[in-house]
Amino acid sequence: MFRTDSKNLRAYGLAMALAVAGAVGFTPATPAFAQSAPQPRSLPDFSELVDQVSPAVVNIRTTERARSSAAGLGGGQMDEEMQEFFRRFFGVPMPNTPRQQQRPAPREEEREGPRGVGSGFILTADGYVMTNAHVVEGAEEVIVTLADKREFKARTIGADKRTDVAVVKIDATGLPAVRVGDIRRLKVGEWVMAIGSPFGLENTVTAGIVSALGRDTGDYLPFIQTDVAINPGNSGGPLINMRGEVVGINSQIYSRSGGFMGISFAIPIDEATRVAEQLRVSGRVQRGRIGVQIDQVTRDVAESIGLGRAQGALVRSVESGSPAEKAGIEAGDIITRFNGQAIDRATELPRLVGNTKPGSRVNMTVFRRGGQRELPVTVAELEDRTAAATPRRGPAQQSEQARATSPAAATLGLAVSELTEAQKREAKVKGGVRVDTVSEAAQRAGIREGDIIVAIGNTEVGNAREFEAAIARVDRSKAVPILVRRGEMASYLLIRPARG
């Protein structure tokens, strides 16, 4: 039953008023915010891009020499691998293995076996194909299948593990080739598309957006991060923008299961083509090196030493006899520019040095003790093999020198002693003091017994007397930056003195 209280009467009256207004043609005013609301955009149609680019995308299959037993032992390949593991590392058969499977393995013979499936794309009409290095690594045979189902045996021109770029060649002409895009025009949020062979399913198209640029996951590559569905088998395929241009090579995924989880990484095409050109010309990639180990510069350290903002690469150690040592670089220096290019993050330095032609003489800008210095360096070539690491020297043994234990040093929680000439040579320092005991503020900062202090703030410390003088000038209201050598590594540690 309809209730005739005042609330219902008001509602009834409003409804009648609106009905009358509609009958006489009255249209309520549209709110201003509704007039200015942006029109919804339709999702992009990738069909034309697929028709345009897919003929240049290829499937890559590889085979390798596989070992098989002349007589079966029973059980699967995993059982055989586990038996070998227990035999090699524990000297005993795998537990719960039947006695007949514990006898010595029979004679093995080699055979051609399938290895994996990947993707690639045609760079030139005469048959040069780009893919990932890990797709063709260790392959005895590389088979390239075109979009029109033609198959070719390919030869590997070159592969570079550091960038995961490889170039293979097939004997064919008049092939459809991709167009290379300008990576500088790529923006976060832009739509991109991938074509490849995930799980061996050829000519599979997936799409998404660019999630981030310049993602530092490797020494030499700032990756493109996307949410395009990339799975095993997509490796080596192209990442394509809405203009139909290749902007990257799909290379890595972040996954806990081996499948797509929404985070994929692609090699920027400008980096890849630079590598590919060297591979085509000489079959290998030349990279520069200067011989330093580096670390990030934190904001606290930058502010405390007068650098301003966190920038550059902190030199933690200098390789003996390296171009950096010959140029005068010291542990604790901060390299802020290389060959005229500013270094905002430490990870940029290896790429700049690596892309410099060996033998080139370039200038570096170094921040040291509160000032900038220009140091010329002649870049050497980075060897393909991993160079043997220089063994680290342990902290110098404590000598019988008197310790510096003034009230100022005690404020920082330090007691130090002079270095002997032998200790200086061993630690490769021109001066400094050895930390004998650590407590309170210094201990909280991470300073350890045996460390060598070479500078306080921007003041070099050559001996105990200079150490005491520098400590006496410390502003106890601020964090004190201490440049410490530990073995052959240098670090800035911030001591926050207790206020008296």
Asked whether residue 220 carries a pLDDT value surpassing 80, the answer given is: no
Give yes or no for a contact between 64 and 138, defined as CB atoms under 8 angstroms apart: yes
Q: What is the mean pLDDT of the chain?
A: 78
Report residue 87's pLDDT band, with 50, 70 and 90 as the boundaries.
very low
Q: Which of 54-68, 145-159, 219-233, 300-314 comes out lowest in average pLDDT? A: 54-68
> In whole angstroms, how far apart are CA 138 and each of 196, 367, 369?
21, 45, 50
pLDDT of residue 466: 85
- CA gap 424, 426 in Å, rounded: 5
- CA gap 472, 412 in Å, rounded: 11
pLDDT of residue 440: 76
- CA gap 377, 322 in Å, rounded: 10
Give yes or no for a contact between 480 and 495, defined as CB atoms under 8 angstroms apart: yes
Asked whether residue 319 carries a pLDDT value surpassing 80, the answer given is: yes
Asked whether residue 97 carries a pLDDT value surpassing 90, the answer given is: no
In sequence order, the β-bridge partners of residue 141 are 63
Q: Which of 62-71, 178-187, 421-430 comes out lowest in average pLDDT? A: 62-71
Asked whether residue 52 carries a pLDDT value surpassing 80, the answer given is: yes
Asked whether residue 484 carries a pLDDT value surpassing 60, the answer given is: yes
- CA gap 270, 170 in Å, rounded: 23
Give yes or no for a contact between 80 and 101, defined as CB atoms under 8 angstroms apart: no
Beta strands in 282-324 (DSSP E): 288-289, 292-295, 313-318
pLDDT of residue 135: 92
Give pLDDT tens digits for 257-294: 666 678 889 999 999 999 999 999 888 888 999 999 89
- CA gap 132, 267 in Å, rounded: 9
Q: Please report which helix (H) or strand (E) contains residue 437, including its range.
A: strand 433-438
Q: In this predicted model, which residue has the larger pLDDT, 441 or 76?
A: 441
Those residues whose C-beta lies under 8 Å from the C-beta of residue 362, and which sit 6 or more positions away, are 338, 339, 340, 356, 376, 377, 379
pLDDT of residue 37: 57
pLDDT of residue 399: 36
pLDDT of residue 6: 43
The arithmetic mean of pLDDT across residues 292-311, rounded, is 89
- Burial class (CB within 10 angstroms; exposed 0-12, middle 13-18, buried 19+) of 27: exposed
Highest mean pLDDT (candidates 1-10, 300-309, 334-343, 384-393): 334-343
pLDDT of residue 66: 55
- Burial class (CB within 10 angstroms; exposed 0-12, middle 13-18, buried 19+) of 66: middle
Spell out the alpha helix ranges (H) of 37-177.
47-53, 77-90, 133-136
Asked whether residue 450 carries a pLDDT value surpassing 50, the answer given is: yes
Give pLDDT tens digits for 351-375: 899 889 899 999 999 999 889 999 9
pLDDT of residue 402: 41
pLDDT of residue 327: 93
Specify the 3-state DSSP secondary structure of 188: coil
Place of tokens 């005690």: 410
pTM for the full predicted model = 0.64
Report residue 211's pLDDT band, with 50, 70 and 90 as the boundaries.
very high
Share of the chain above pLDDT 90, in %: 37
Q: Which residues are catalytic?
A: 134, 164, 235
Asked whether residue 36 carries a pLDDT value surpassing 90, the answer given is: no
Q: In this predicted model, which residue has the larger pLDDT, 148 or 43?
A: 148
Give pLDDT tens digits for 123-177: 999 999 999 999 998 888 999 999 999 999 999 999 998 889 999 999 999 999 9
Place of tokens 């549209």: 30
pLDDT of residue 395: 35
Beta strands in 135-281 (DSSP E): 141-145, 151-160, 165-169, 179-180, 191-196, 204-216, 222-226, 238-241, 245-253, 264-268
Asked whether residue 81 carries a pLDDT value surpassing 60, the answer given is: no
DSSP state of 409: H
pLDDT of residue 35: 52
Considering only CA atoms, which of 407, 405, 430 is closest in space to residue 419? 430
The two structure tokens encoding residue 203: 């000519």
Report residue 40's pLDDT band, with 50, 70 and 90 as the boundaries.
low
Give pLDDT tens digits for 388-445: 333 333 333 333 344 445 566 666 778 888 888 888 888 888 888 888 888 778 888 8
- Measure the N-to-C terminal CA separation of the chain; round to a whole number of Å: 83
